[in-house]
Amino acid sequence: MDTVLGLIGLIVFVVVIISLAAGVTWLVVKLFPQQKKKPQPESS
């Protein structure tokens, strides 16, 4: 039974870490949007 609880705990831990990383990434993108550079003229 301890093994099953350990595996469930490990899975929950991994899901929490991935969710936290995704949340931080989303927050950084919302707070600091990428500034658009001036489009460079196409040379042909």
pTM over 0.85: no
Tokens found for residue 26: 């989303």
How sure is the predictor about 44, in pLDDT bands with cuts at 50, 70 and 90?
low
Alpha carbon 27 to chain centroid, angstroms:
9
> Which tokens belong to 40?
């460079």
DSSP letter string, 14-27: HHHHHHHHHHHHHH
CA distance 32 to 20: 18
Model pLDDT for residues 2-40, shown as the tens digit of each residue: 899 999 999 999 999 999 999 999 999 999 887 777 677
What is the reported pLDDT for 15? 98
What is the pLDDT at residue 33? 83
